[in-house]
Structure 1
Amino acid sequence: MLTSHYSPELFEEIKILGLFNLSTTQEGIKVHSTAAPEAIEAARRLYEKGLITKDDGGYLTTLGHEAAQHAQDLLTILVSERLAS
């Protein structure tokens, strides 16, 4: 497994994707200018990758919704596994 691809920046992007409410397409997020610089940059990268509609949040694109679903599913599994041990 190539762990070099798992940078702190990637984890910040996953954290941003985890903030979205996937039960509706009418709810977005806003990463304020007072947020941590890491969060601001993560939102910008997600926008550049075409996963969100604005560089400071906005809504998920179709691809972004799929990515957020996978990210949130993974986080749920990992938390569940930790609780089960």
Structure 2
Amino acid sequence: MTYTPELIAELELLRQYDLDNHLSGLKVHQDAEPDSIDAARRLHDKGLLSQPDGGYLTSLGRDAAEHAQALLIILSGRAEPH
């Protein structure tokens, strides 16, 4: 499996969720970039988002967002060394 543009768009959307606030969701408006609209729909279809246009993270979505955000921190060199 490779990182396709579709997967990257999904990761980018998951990156935007505030993991410190469970009551914080996202709304992907119809005038947003088509990649973002499609990513939200795919994440909803996969059971990661509560609504096709964003909404809240499901339990699985929260796990995915935590991993996606952690990976970004690690790869950007901002992780603290052990």
Instruction: Give the TM-score, by structure 1 length.
Output: 0.88
Aligned match of 1:58 in 55, 63, 68? 55
Could you say which residue in structure 2 is the equivalent of 1:32?
29
Query: What displacement does 1:29 show?
Result: 0.4
- Please list every run of 5 or more consecutive structure 2 residues that lacks an aligned counterpart in the other structure: none
Report the identity percentage: 51
CA distance in 2, matches of 1:70, 1:63: 11
Query: What displacement does 1:36 show?
Result: 0.4
CA distance in 1, matches of 2:74, 2:32: 28
Aligned amino acid, residue 46 of structure 1: L
- Please list every run of 5 or more consecutive structure 1 residues that lacks an aligned counterpart in the other structure: none
More helix by share: 1
Instruction: Give the TM-score, by structure 2 length.
Output: 0.91
Aligned residues: 78
CA distance in 2, matches of 1:25, 1:56: 18
Q: Secondary structure at the match of 1:80?
A: coil
Q: Deviations over 1:4-42 (max 9, x none)?
A: xx2100000000000000012100001111100000000
CA distance in 2, matches of 1:30, 1:74: 24
Mapped pair 1:49 → 2:46: yes
Pairwise CA RMSD:
1.0
